[in-house]
Amino acid sequence: MDINKLTIGEAKEKLQEYEELAKIFGSNVETVEDISYNQKKYYIVRTYSAGVFAGNIVRRVGKEVEMKNARRIWYWAGAASLSQLAMDGTSKPSNCKFPKAVDKVELTEAIEILECSEKAEKSIKGVPEWKM
């Protein structure tokens, strides 16, 4: 079997067979499901090594997150934590370093996802574009 030539249907079938065998032999199998998010809502996503991004989540599968209209939160001020930034926004927008939003970014190793309040979304979007 060449895994690179499997159709999606065949891959799903093989995964199901694997899960059934794992149940029989008592192995712990973690399945990865597509998790839905409201694409109209604004989120902050912190990753293991790529940093922090704010934008709309298109989809999430396991630790992989695809975002659109995403700004990298390179440096923030005026909020004690990402949690406060997600709820209150920043009280010091001129001290923040948020570059221009990208149309699409695919992030791996997402370790925290925070839903933003409308106030925070407006605040984050209102931070002047940081560029060199």
**Interval 75-96 mean pLDDT:** 98
**Interval 13-37 mean pLDDT:** 68
Q: Give every CB contact of residue 29 below 8 A, 6+ residues apart in sequence.
A: 18, 19, 22, 23
Comparing CA positions, the residue from 33, 34, 65 lying closest to residue 50 is 65
Which pLDDT score, from 0 to 100, does residue 28 have?
A: 57
pLDDT higher than 70, residue 25: no
pTM of structure: 0.76
**Interval 92-110 mean pLDDT:** 97
pLDDT in tens, 34-53: 778 888 999 999 999 999 99
Which pLDDT score, from 0 to 100, does residue 3 have?
A: 64
- With cut-offs at 50, 70 and 90, classify the pLDDT of residue 26: low
The Cα-based distances of 10 to 38, 40, 61, 62, 66 in angstroms read 30, 33, 19, 21, 25
pLDDT higher than 60, residue 29: no
pLDDT higher than 80, residue 109: yes
The pLDDT > 90 percentage for the chain reads 70
pLDDT higher than 90, residue 82: yes
